[in-house]
Chains A and B, each alone.
Chain A
């Protein structure tokens, strides 16, 4: 194990230091650790290249001489190997460190620690004088969040059982395009490959484990894809609610307009989700009346009739 590690480090150093492409023969002749038959060396080198690539190191393959299409050569460009965040100010280093520390005890702890070590290796001092006291924290130690983030990182399709609105688990396949933390929940956004449409899934509604299917790098995130554009557009229907003065704090925060009056204030708010608004109106009991649309008014009325009936 240690011999192999040594060889990989030596290979990295040699490929980084060279100004031109090194041929396999040069590599085998000069770099310590390549031993055995020609075939054995060949196999060793193939595995080593794979391993370095798995570590995110880009090995460039190129011809020795454009005039003679002979043996391929290899090198690692220092600019692709090294951290490219350059000319960082102490404030920026602090921001990056804070960002990496936000994952403490959450899904990405190990990765953000690695990132933090690389950032501190720059050797720049941090400067907190420009910053307010901050200790941002990303919450979410859920194994499935980690699984989904790994899939997003490696561009691997995932499969999971998802609790639908009726409370029944259904198998779904997803190419994750992005993540969102909203109202204290994590959401995955991506292409539902069976429905061939963009869908949003709440991570804590996944039953059991997230499983990778197929290979990594099996899809690309469309460059035109924007989470922000998934936000409901202006055509969202509006609800008109009558709300008792002093009541309905949450409804007022969501409202686009509030008209105050003596008995009832008049609120207008977008209906992003009919079920959600129905529940929210019911939560406020006799302090809220739905004026329109009829669909929402009907849903609330029939829910109230049912509540009265079963509790009578």
Chain B
């Protein structure tokens, strides 16, 4: 692909510099280098090259006229290349996918914007010969995201309605959010939870509702992450894909594994959901809890 050929990447940059300079007359060389993700030296080389280019004849009348000795760049006599180049297929796809996410985050909350997005996507699709199919789901809708980002900036508080899969409960918690971050394939909200009196991670896609609330006051003593680790040992009866995904600590070819977990309810539910492919060996309380739950569930069928 073109991106992997440094010579061609340079040609592309030369062509793209002209329209950018045309609409950003007087830009500092350093800023220009930053925009194009390269060094001042490279950009200066580019400008020196462009300065030699123009229409056939190549007299000063035909050549691109560049001024950059002052450290600020201006361009003249470059009308032929002045229009930004069309997006190539990959660039169009990247924007198309980003628009899909935007639309998903806005969901039904803003119809005029989602229809603008659909319109832009239609325009992009006509440029993509053999158009790929794209479907992006949002982990957090734009309204919640906006409230969370605002609270992070203002160090404000939110009441978050959250679904905990481990406890199979939906609860409201007062949270002072710190950040939204990625871990593995999930997005998390991290913040101080005044109900738990500690820092907690909330999976973004399990946030059911977000509202702004008044300041709850920060704790006086040092906040610590106090989720107690639970070490447990499992025996693997079948190393299926599901087992490897639910308990990534299990090695594909080993029959036992010692795993660090944080929530007893989560661990027993996870092992139940694996339908006997994995057996809990220790601690014995965990083993007993799983036995009791499975037995109680089975009795429902008698």
A: which residues have CB within 8 A of B?
1-2, 4-6, 8-10, 12-14, 16-17, 30-32, 51, 54-57, 78, 80-85, 91-92, 95-96, 98-103, 108, 110-115, 117-123, 130-140, 149-150, 152-155, 163-167, 176-186, 189, 204-205, 220-221, 223, 225-228, 247-250, 275, 278-280, 282-289, 297, 299, 301, 303-312
Contacts and interface: CB of A to CB of B under 8 A. Distances in A.
B8 A51 contact: yes
Contacts of B37: 110, 113
B241 interface: yes
A220 B182 CA distance: 35
Nearest to B166: A283
A81 B102 contact: no
Contacts of A31: 56
Given A247-B168, A279-B242, A178 B102 contact: no
B136 A138 contact: yes
Contacts of B130: 155, 220-221
Contact of A117 (B35, B109, B274, B301): B35
A272 to B, nearest CB: 15
Nearest to B297: A286
Interface in B37-95: 37, 45, 49-50, 52-58, 80-81, 83-95
Contacts of A180: 134-137
Interface stretch (B16-24, B192-200, B222-230): B16-24
Interface residues of B, number: 121
Closest 5 CB pairs of A and B: A123-B23, A178-B133, A99-B98, A306-B276, A303-B275
A54 B2 contact: yes
Contacts, number: 354
**Which of B56, B58, B109, B130 counts the most chain A CB atoms within 10 A?**
B56
A84 B127 contact: yes
A311 B163 contact: no
Q: Interface SS of chain A: helix, strand, loop or mixed? A: helix
Interface string B1-20: 11101011011101110011
Interface stretch (B142-150, B209-217, B254-262): B142-150
B123 A85 contact: yes
Contact of A286 (B58, B99, B240, B300): B300
A132 B10 contact: no
Given A108-B97, A133-B146, A227-B135, A10 B89 contact: no
Nearest to B300: A289
12 contacts: A1-B7, A5-B10, A6-B53, A12-B81, A95-B113, A110-B37, A136-B105, A167-B239, A180-B137, A221-B133, A283-B269, A308-B291
B236 to A, nearest CB: 10
Contacts of A310: 237, 276, 279
B240 A166 contact: yes
A54 B81 contact: no
A264 to B, nearest CB: 9
B265 to A, nearest CB: 10
B90 A149 contact: yes
Nearest to B78: A13
Contacts of B288: 311
Given A5-B7, A83-B83, A310-B276, A179 B22 contact: no
B272 A82 contact: no
B11 A51 contact: yes
Nearest to A52: B11
A205 to B, nearest CB: 7
B102 A99 contact: yes
A177 B135 CA distance: 12
A9 B8 contact: no
Contacts of B91: 111-112, 114-115, 118
